[in-house]
Amino acid sequence: MKTIKDIMSTDCVTVTLQDNLYEIAVKMKQNDIGFVPVVEGKRLIGVVTDRDLVVRGYAEKHSGSTAVEEVISKDVTTVAPDTTIDEAAKLMARDKIRRLPVVSGGELVGVVAIADLAVREIFVNEAGEALSEISENVDHMASAR
């Protein structure tokens, strides 16, 4: 059974509590992302989404120099690397979240996005269908001999 470690992204863009709103926004723009884990060393302490920046940051008239602490979400749903893909998908659906930090021993080791699950499931289904067709063709060719 496939687990989150099989599909998670490990090259995560992160920020620290020393970063400010402007620096987070720039990282999001440069990397075309809307979600950034906040770490202390390697320890996950929260996340900031593009929505957090807008709703808790700029809409509250905070400037770009405002500290991450003002917009961070600390109550974060996480999964372990050995969580099954199905378990993660159910968790994401239940909590209505698009991205899950993957944590091992309190340290951020990756992130899995809903798109990763969708692509993975499509790949598995297509691969399964392709394998079935290949097997049928091989069986058919063998019986024709």
Any bridge partners for residue 15, and if so which?
Answer: 38
pLDDT mean over 5-18: 94
Residue ranges of E strands in 27-105: 35-40, 43-49, 99-104
* Measured CA distances, 34 to 13, 83, 103, 145 (Å): 11, 24, 19, 57
User: Is the model's pLDDT at 138 over the cut of 50?
Assistant: no
CATH number, domain 4-144: 3.10.580.10
Q: CA nearest 85: which of 51, 114, 48?
A: 114
Higher pLDDT, 59 or 39: 39
User: Is the model's pLDDT at 124 over the cut of 70?
Assistant: no
State residue 137's pLDDT score.
46
Q: Give the span between the Cα atoms of 120 and 35, in whole angstroms.
A: 20
Q: What is the pLDDT of residues 14-30, one digit of tens each?
A: 999 999 999 999 999 99
